[in-house]
Amino acid sequence: MSFNAKRLGIALIFGFLSGVLCYLGGIYLVGVDNNPIHFFWIVLNRTLIGFVIGLSNLDLNWALHGALIGATIGLLFPFYIFICGGAFPLILIAYFLSILFGIFIEFFTSIVFKAKVK
């Protein structure tokens, strides 16, 4: 098992894009306040999911790998919503989306750009 810079770079880019997409979806679809602090936390969380996916050497199916990392690292974001007084349905949606974004990041990293775990 070795470090794969291409895999890490792709996963980081798609983690960042996932964060921006999640933030915009929150504003336009859910009605979340347009707030720079929210932007920072959402983008940070999704980018962190991409970072861990890019570094991970777990030998799993790509979808399971993305879901597992999205589920574990993604716990941070719903916790942030809880601390900010967010409604319970929003907390559940954010956690579910963390799993989906983990799969999304892993899909583009492993399948589309063929930077698989070695």
What percent of the chain has a predicted confidence (pLDDT) above 70? Answer: 98
2 pLDDT more than 80 = no
In-domain check, residue 50: yes
95 pLDDT more than 80 = yes
In-domain check, residue 117: no
**Contacts for 41 with CB less than 8 Å, ≥ 6 apart:** 77, 80
User: What confidence tier does 103 reach under pLDDT thresholds 50, 70, 90?
Assistant: very high
Chain centroid to Cα 110, Å, comes to 15
Instruction: Domain count for the chain, please give it.
Output: 1
In-domain check, residue 61: yes
Question: How far is 43 from 31, CA to CA, in rounded Å?
Answer: 17
In-domain check, residue 118: no
Question: How far is 41 from 37, CA to CA, in rounded Å?
Answer: 6
Sign (positive/negative) of CA torsion 64, 70, 75, 81?
negative
User: What confidence tier does 31 reach under pLDDT thresholds 50, 70, 90?
Assistant: confident
52 pLDDT more than 80 = yes
pTM above 0.85, yes or no: yes
Helix (H) or strand (E) run with residue 77 in it = helix 76-83
